[in-house]
Amino acid sequence: MCDHHDILRSNNKDLQSIEKQIDRRYFLKKTSLGIGALALGSLLNTEKAWSSIGNSGAGVNAFAKNKLGLPHHLPKAKRIIYLFQSGGPSQLDLFDYKPRLVDMFGKDLPESVIGGQRLTGMSGSQSTLPVAPSLFKFKQYGESRAWVSEIMPHLSEVVDDLCFIKSMQTDQINHTPAVTFMQTGHQLPGRPSIGSWLSYGLGSDNENLPTFITLISKNGKGQPLKAGLWGNGFLPTEHQGVQFRSGKDPVLYLNNPDNYDGTDRKKMLDYLDKLNSIQHDAYGDPEIQARMTQYEMAFRMQTSIPEVTDTSNEPEHIFEMYGKDSRDAGTYAANCLMARKLLEKGVKFVQLYHQGWDQHIGCPGGVKNKARQTDQATAALIKDLKQRGMLEDTLVVWGGEFGRTVYSQGQLTKKNYGRDHHPKAFTMWMAGAGVKPGFSYGETDDFSYNVTKDPVHVHDFHATLLHLFGVDHERLTFKHQGRRYRLTDVHGHLVKDILT
Amino acid sequence: MSETSDFVLFLGRFHPLVVHLPIGFLFFAFMLELLGRKKQYEALTSAVPLALLSGFVSAVLACVLGYMLSLSGDYEQGMLDSHFWFGIVTTVLVLVAWLIRTGKIKLQEKQSLKANISTITLIVILLSVTGHYGGNLTHGSDYLTKYMPFNNTEETILTPVAKVEDAVVFDYLVAPILDAKCTSCHNESKKKGGLSLIDSLSIMKGGKGGDALIAGKSLESEIVKRVLLNPHHDDFMPPEGKTPLTEEEIDIVKYWIDHAAAGFSTKVGHVETSEHIKEIASVMLGLSNDPNKVELPVVTKVEESVLQEIISEGFTVSELVFDSNIYAVVLPSKTITENNMGELGKKLQVLAKIKDNVLWLHLEDNQVTDDHLEIINTFSNLQKLKLSRNPLTDAGVSQISNPIIESLNLYGTKITRASLEPLSKLTNLKNVYVWETAILKEDVDALQLRSEFPKFVLGI
């Protein structure tokens, strides 16, 4: 292939003058984005000089020296799987056992508990707020004697590996802002997600696979998810999460078309790279750089993805452990299994979503159904990581965007109740790398309504998560629109008590 | 003195500004006078009277404004008097110099020349003295010499403490805050609001607004009340333009007043101290109380060429803590297969060049055999070793002897229960993964370990 294109560009006076005009116009047009975009362009340019052959990730150069000065301290976690239970799982029906509620059945929730909190429009206008104790039986399990509801029979087997945080708190009461807050540290869209920050800060451990991958259970009903939740915000675009399709073919168009053997694919991409470089030198648009990186990644994924997404050579007992759903591509169980394979291959962040935990009505049935879909595979993932020795440097996180109310939304009967959104107290758990196993942190009042001891705000959770990766949340910043941003913005305290 | 009208004080505050005019004029007059003695600059002497006159007029203005400022009563009387009289004398002398220069005071020709130069030299000297006193009044008497080289008159140096509990609350925690944020205005020579915070006596004395502190009642103590006001409030301290106290600093002062009863010799260990305060204190004292802090082995720097060689052998190398020269090294699975088994030995030899720098080593599924373990045994700082899914046997594994190894992953290897005994003797070993080996739960149970560790993790 000849390189006439760039010769044409550099020798033709007319073209050069046109290019200059466009340059200026481009500059003026882009001033809405600020000089920041241009500064970023030049920043990326300098990075080009540092990056190794084959681009080992934004944060790391050829000599294993991180350009951002990371990690700040010895990390405990090398990778993470975040099992996001979207919709707001009911802590009252799963982990936060409140036996005294039985005596309060149907009584109006005292105003002293609500404390003047503004409720949502969905239950705020109810004439009464009847207390609805959980229909499910709770028992204590393991050496840690953790309380778990009967609808999580498999998870109860691994409680000694879990670290419950019963005192989670968020600022948001509705789904979209709350999920966005949980995943990006801000309720409005536009900030980088947790995975993007880690990818930007720590770089990749396997250059043949994306650093940050998102898996979503198929046939998910309920509140929608959006790409901004695993978006890069203002960070360079190659750090956004790569969403795998929930089905047989997780990444489309990786196979060569019919009658093409792919032998000159690399050559083709190299030439495309050259064209893009010319374009980038002319306009300094960082998106061009990101595109070049992603073309390279896609090329390498042609071989790496089929290998890692193929679960056919997993032994029978592994499928049995994850449950029968694990053979059905795209289910939560199948995603858990694939997540383990991705983590094994050095993917740093697997973000898994399971939708439908939004039980405004028919809470017992709904929660039970969701538990049935997720319980076995979640427990299996913990066990599988543990027996492979991966749990000691893999962080597992389970949780939603908020909790649910103790009072019934809608009619309370002996057999049924609904629960509204509740941001002031909910339960999450973590397991693995650097967090105390068989531990429970924080307490709520008798109604699981207010935190009575050791509150953990979403910002604190983020600070702790970054800490486990060797990152000081106050020191990983990115300058954008004239100020330096952090995942925790100006908040966040490390929750030291849950660290090993 | 409180009768002084605000307007007078308002004008008075222009003194520090106006005072620089006579300084400039008079120094310039001095320069003109000196230069004018040379033939080529003779013409300059004609400008001396103008410079002197301007100097005089501005000096009078400065004196008047200075007097107005002194009415605020914020300054130490002794130093203020010196500054005042030196200022007056200088001003008068400037008038005299001008009179001599313009011939209004008649002197003989020869004397006149001498008189000119001597008066103007005297003016410069007086000016410097006056200025110095003025500076001391505004900035404090140690302002000028604080950063002077070889200045040994630093205030008492505190001996470092090993524990937060041993620190005297006032000396180690409160005094540094006062010094950094308060004493530039509240000292012996410049007592803003009549308050000096320079030592225990002056603090106890309080200021014009009453007691600076009430032991045990921080929120009623002026010293705390003022810093907690709305920053736009007139009484907010420190005043606008100065750096306010941080939340942590306020917490420390409050703690001192409430818990240490504002005592000057109370130690942290003597009183009830929250974790929060201890944390701030240990940061202030440069002590780390982080229980999670891990001591990293100190190792030599690795040459970039060596790293490059290791990377070109197929290893992924990442530094575990920035600039620590301690690395996690991974050889991606299946880099070595049955087809290229011979290469592993060479690769490990290359890696052995940084054997003390490797903390974590992953060699999963790479045809590692017992012979290769000999090289790996020389890695002195190895903490985590992942050897899973390799054809290793008891013969090699029982020889593993890395001194600080904590985690050993042997799942999917060919080891049997014969390896358990030697492995359990490794003192730092915490977790051994032996899933998918010939080892059974009974074997582990039969081992009857004396301590909790190592834990042998089987299939679950």
pLDDT on residue A56: 36
Q: In this structure, is the dihedral angle defined by the CA atoms of residues A355, A361, A367 and A368, taken in order, positive or negative?
A: negative
To the nearest whole Å, the CA of B219 is away from the closest chain A CA by 26
Nearest to A148 by CA among A484, A444, A429: A429
Q: In this structure, is the dihedral angle defined by the CA atoms of residues B215, B216, B220 and B222, taken in order, positive or negative?
A: positive
Q: Model ipTM?
A: 0.84
Q: Is A303 on the interface with B (CB under 8 A)?
A: no
Q: Is B402 on the interface with A (CB under 8 A)?
A: no
Q: For residue range B297-318, list pLDDT tens digits in order.
A: 888 889 889 999 999 999 999 9
pLDDT on residue A39: 55
pLDDT band at A55 (very low <50, low <70, confident <90, very high): very low
Q: Is A72 on the interface with B (CB under 8 A)?
A: yes
pLDDT on residue A15: 63
pLDDT band at A282 (very low <50, low <70, confident <90, very high): confident
Chain A / chain B CB contacts < 8 angstroms: 79
Q: Is B307–A64 a contact, with Cβ atoms under 8 angstroms apart?
A: yes
Out of A12-26, A47-61, A449-463, B213-227, which region has the weakest mean confidence (pLDDT)?
A: A47-61
pLDDT on residue A496: 93
**What value does the mean pLDDT take over residues B417-432?**
92
**What value does the mean pLDDT take over residues A377-383?**
97
- The helix or strand, by DSSP H or E, that contains position A432, with its residue range, turns out to be strand A426-432
Q: Is B43 on the interface with A (CB under 8 A)?
A: no
**What value does the mean pLDDT take over residues A433-444?**
96
CATH number of the domain residue A105 falls in: 3.40.720
Greatest CA separation for chain A:
87
Nearest CA in chain B to A472: B321
Q: Mean pLDDT of all residues in chain A?
A: 89
pLDDT band at A53 (very low <50, low <70, confident <90, very high): very low
Of all residues in chain B, what percent carry a pLDDT higher than 90?
A: 42
To the nearest whole Å, the CA of B237 is away from the closest chain A CA by 24
Which of 417-446 (B) contact A at CB < 8 A?
A: 431, 433, 435
Q: Is B157 on the interface with A (CB under 8 A)?
A: no
To the nearest whole Å, the CA of A72 is away from the closest chain B CA by 6
Q: Is A205–B318 a contact, with Cβ atoms under 8 angstroms apart?
A: yes
Answer whether residue A32 is part of any domain: no
Residue of B305, B318, B385, B452 for testing the chain A interface, max A β-carbons within 10 Å: B318
- The number of angstroms, rounded, from the C-alpha of B296 to the middle of its chain's C-alpha atoms is 24
Rg (CA), chain A: 25
Question: Do residues B137 and B190 lie in contact, with contact meaning Cβ atoms separated by under 8 Å?
Answer: yes
Q: Which domain holds residue A246?
A: 70-254+315-498
Instruction: Give the total number of structural domains in chain A.
Output: 1
Answer whether residue A122 is part of any domain: yes
Q: Is A62 on the interface with B (CB under 8 A)?
A: yes
Q: Is B388–A388 a contact, with Cβ atoms under 8 angstroms apart?
A: yes
pLDDT band at B156 (very low <50, low <70, confident <90, very high): low
Answer whether residue A387 is part of any domain: yes
Fold category of B6-139 in CATH: Four Helix Bundle (Hemerythrin (Met), subunit A) (1.20.120)
Answer whether residue A39 is part of any domain: no
Answer whether residue A104 is part of any domain: yes
CA distance B250 to B177: 9
Q: Is B384 on the interface with A (CB under 8 A)?
A: yes
Q: For residue range A205-263, list pLDDT tens digits in order.
A: 888 999 999 999 998 888 899 999 999 999 999 999 999 998 778 888 888 888 888 88
**What value does the mean pLDDT take over residues A40-47?**
48
CA distance B432 to B429: 8
Answer whether residue A44 is part of any domain: no
pLDDT on residue B460: 79
To the nearest whole Å, the CA of B271 is away from the closest chain A CA by 24
Superfamily of segment(s) B304-457: Ribonuclease Inhibitor (3.80.10.10)
Domain positions in chain B: 6-139, 164-284, 304-457
